Structure 1
């Protein structure tokens, strides 16, 4: 899975926000604010990665229990899928 090409991450006044670009901005009326871990996951999602690879990356980078990491990553991915930001193959 990976991020669709019509979305990008921007830093605005110290906050990280996922915003739509191009024609998608006409359909997607909102912004998603992400924290430091969200930015880390977003960067991983620029490539085709599995959930297992994301969990391994978070465990290596942050001091967190594996089950907590799995749950938080799944919640993040669900939000991206519901928003149409993430697709199984990266296409919008």
Structure 2
């Protein structure tokens, strides 16, 4: 899986936000991300798997595997629901 082109991750007023650009220019698609979401978003700029995302969370954060898997699954589901994944 990989993030679609047409979205930019930016810091705005201390918040991490994803902004649409180009053909995706629909400001209703702007989303706020927490630290973990921003971390996963960056990893999704290249082709990856849920297992690789879980492994990255385990390496970066003090979290158990069950929590990491649930976080990744929830984040990926939201991205798919909203059309962010290619």
Tell me which interval the TM-score lies in, with the shorter structure as reference length. over 0.9
* Residue aligning to 2:70: 71
Q: Which runs of 5+ in 2 are unaligned?
A: none
Give the TM-score taking structure 1 as reference length. Answer: 0.87
Q: Tell me which stretches of 4 or more aligned residues in structure 1 moved more than 2 Å.
A: none
Q: Deviations over 1:39-89 (max 9, x none)?
A: 1101110110110000000000000110111111111111111111112xx
Number of residue pairs aligned between Structure 1 and Structure 2: 86
* Residue aligning to 1:15: 15
* Residue aligning to 1:36: 35
Give the SS at the match of 2:29: coil
Q: Which runs of 5+ in 1 are unaligned?
A: 88-92
Give the TM-score taking structure 2 as reference length. Answer: 0.92
CA RMSD of aligned residues (A): 1.2
* Residue aligning to 1:52: 51
